[in-house]
Amino acid sequence: MCQCCAEKKDIYLPELATVMDAKAMNVTERYLRLAMDDGPFDFVPGQFVEVSVAGIGEAPITISSSPTQNGGFELVVRKVGNVTKAIHNLNKGDKLGIRGPLGDGMYPVDEAKGKNVVFICGGIGLVPQRSFVNYVLDNRDDYGEVTILQGTKEYDQRLFTDEVAAWDKRDDVQMLETIDLPDKRWKSNVGVVTKLIPMIKSELKSAVVLVCGPPVMYKFVLMSLEEHEVPHENIFLNLERKMKCGVGKCGHCQINSTYTCMDGPVFRYSDLATMPEAI
């Protein structure tokens, strides 16, 4: 267990946090900026928290903001059940419970230094990747060329549009975006995110590649990266979708002897070679 988690008094006991800001991003995603009531909250890109609403339950949500940015931490919650529906009803000033930060498999913050970094995001996969994207951009001199690929099914499902536009304007970032379905409001790439991979300008073979998105996307992204001869040890996958309790007790995310919540949620692709069911 990482040091920041070990300092918690009880990993099963939620601590109170206050909603500092809340807004709808689209019909299914809601943005929350939170502050812990008992003081600072330290985490590493890739870690997650268990968010609880009294009397209803809890859900694991990966932190979307970078630890380099002050003013609390940020989550984006998709409405898919009773807990997330209750979270969507929260507004500024409301309270909720937080367990965490949790997870020992984080993004390779130090390993990626000095190397080209490629983020491949599908839909809501941008949310957890955004934490490391902004970490890299806030420490820009520590990293090589930065490429961000974002694919979304429909125009109205796009997330962090102002932020994506700002990344696109930077001279030190290659930002490529696509949507699956044509839309008269959209003047850029159309098609699945794998169509963007051949457009990457930086050298892929030596890059650290980070992938997060829906399950169906992983198969085709990994096939494309294989065609570009990217070593498996250079590819990192986020498997947060499999988690539930966050502390390896419920068995929901167990894959053989591995627990996504305890050993991940970010895994090196080469470490999953004996666990094809993981992806």
Neighbours of 269 (CB within 10 A): 21
In angstroms, the CA 67 to CA 133 distance is 11
> Within the chain, which residue ranges are assigned CATH 3.40.50.80?
117-278
| pLDDT tens digit at each of 279 positions of the chain | 454 444 546 878 999 999 999 999 999 999 999 999 998 999 999 999 999 999 999 999 999 999 999 889 999 999 999 999 999 999 999 999 999 999 998 999 999 999 999 999 999 999 999 999 999 999 999 999 999 999 999 999 999 999 999 999 999 999 999 999 999 999 999 999 999 999 999 999 999 999 999 989 999 999 999 999 999 999 999 987 678 788 888 888 787 888 888 888 999 999 987 776 666
- Which helix (H) or strand (E) segment is 88 a member of? helix 82-88
**CATH number belonging to domain 117-278:** 3.40.50.80
Measure the CA–CA gap between 111 and 97, rounded to whole angstroms. Answer: 33
Three-class DSSP category at 193: helix
- Which amino acid, 75? L
Assign domain 3-102 to its CATH architecture. Answer: Beta Barrel (2.40)
The DSSP bridge pattern shows strands 57-62 and 189-190 to be unpaired
Q: Give the angle 41-46-51 at the CA atoms, nearest 5°.
A: 55
Residues whose CB is less than 8 angstroms from the CB of residue 211 and which lie 6 or more positions away in sequence, other chains included: 120, 125, 217, 218, 221, 222, 235, 236, 237, 238
The model's pTM is 0.93
CATH 2.40.30.10 residue ranges of the chain are 3-102
**Any residues with CB less than 8 A from the CB of 22 and at least 6 apart, and which?**
30, 31, 32, 33, 90, 91, 92, 94
From the list 275, 73, 118, 120, the residue with the least C-alpha distance to 61 is 73
Q: Which helix (H) or strand (E) holds 146?
A: strand 146-152
Q: What distance in Å separates the CA atoms of residue 42 and residue 59, rounded to the nearest whole number?
A: 20
